[in-house]
């Protein structure tokens, strides 16, 4: 499929891009090249080829989710700017307790 300078100018207008004549000529050639490669791919025999979302096999690299002991409360609250001994104390949020 060939692309013309008129097509490039139309797409540029839709994208609200101001292109110079030189940029239009360059983009026409570059987009034409990309479309040429896509056209080549259209002619490949892909019968029996499994569709994929990624060219390489993907594996999970995360560690196993294993239950472990948590941080003791006193140690977690030790460096907090403010705590009540049971939880972190944070500044009040505007509107708390008010009926909407």
Task: Kindly report, residue by residue over 19-29, the tens digit of the pLDDT.
Answer: 999 999 999 99
**Is 33 within a domain?**
yes
Please tell me the total count of domains within the chain: 1
**Is 65 within a domain?**
no
CA 68 from centroid of its chain's CA atoms: 32
**Is 73 within a domain?**
no
**Is 54 within a domain?**
no
Which tokens hold the place of 34? 């990309």
pLDDT digits (tens, 9 = 90+) for 30-82: 999 999 999 999 999 989 888 888 888 878 778 888 999 999 999 999 989 99
**Is 70 within a domain?**
no
Q: How far apart are CA 100 and CA 92, in angstroms?
A: 17
Half-sphere exposure of residue 10, counting CA atoms within 13 Å on the CB side? 5
Q: How far apart are CA 3 and CA 30, in angstroms?
A: 10
**Is 21 within a domain?**
yes
CATH number of the domain encompassing residue 27: 1.10.20
Say if pTM beats, i.e. exceeds, 0.75: no
For residue 10, what are the domain limits? Answer: 5-42
């Amino acid at each position: 499929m060939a692309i013309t300078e008129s097509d490039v100018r139309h797409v540029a207008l839709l994208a609200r891009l101001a292109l110079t004549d030189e940029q239009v000529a360059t983009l026409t050639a570059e987009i034409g090249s990309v479309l040429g490669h896509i056209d080549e791919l259209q002619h490949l025999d892909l019968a029996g080829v499994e569709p994929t979302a990624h060219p390489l096999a993907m594996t999970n690299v995360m560690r196993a989710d294993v239950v472990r002991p948590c941080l003791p409360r006193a140690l977690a609250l030790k460096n907090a700017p403010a705590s009540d001994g049971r939880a972190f104390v944070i500044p009040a949020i505007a509107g708390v307790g008010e009926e909407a």
